[in-house]
Amino acid sequence: MAEKFFMHRIQAEGNTFTKGIEIHDTIEAAVLSFWGRMKLAYGASAVTFMSCKITDEAGNAVAPYNMTWNADPDFENKFFMHHIRLDGETYDKNIDVCETFDAARAAYAACMEYGYNNPRHANVTFVSCEITDRSGSVMIPFDETWKKPESEPGPEE
């Protein structure tokens, strides 16, 4: 399977958040989407908050495509729990807006439990989660990616 790139986007107009994670087959497509969103920041529109980043399948941010902007330097903090899961051939992905760090950590734990060869979720082969805040900072240690190891070929008979 070809490598995928994930473009995480969170924006707000006032107190209304729009967010999601896009899956791209090439870095070029992800970068194009990244700049298409970031152009709405910096006072160029009614957007009051913009945070975008591109991550790879290992969960790493792809430099330099990780930017956050707040119109108001005295913003009310929020926590964002980013989660991506591959179950069979289907991606389940989203960003949850959480009022508290504890709520974000509980959501993080619930999503990470799908990985690590959990027998209740045998078709899950990829889980990637992270918690960020409104400054764009990743809340360490809440940044983890699990990929199911490739099966070892059996001995030839």
Task: Give the start-to-end residue ranges of the domains of the chain.
Answer: 5-147
CA-wise closest residue to 6 among 71, 64, 46, 65: 65
Mean local confidence (pLDDT), 9-33? 96
| Spatial strand order in the sheet of 79-87 | 90-98, 79-87, 124-133, 138-147
- 116-155 pLDDT tens trace: 999 999 999 999 999 999 999 999 999 999 999 887 665 6
pLDDT at 157 over 70: no
Judge whether 30 and 7 are in contact, CB under 8 Å: yes
| Cβ count near 5 (within 10 Å) | 22
Cβ neighbours around 61 below 10 Å, total: 15
pLDDT at 151 (0 to 100): 74
Return the percentage of the chain with pLDDT > 90, whole number. Answer: 89
- For 30-57, write each residue's pLDDT tens digit: 999 999 999 999 999 999 999 999 999 9
In this prediction, residue 80 carries a pLDDT of 98
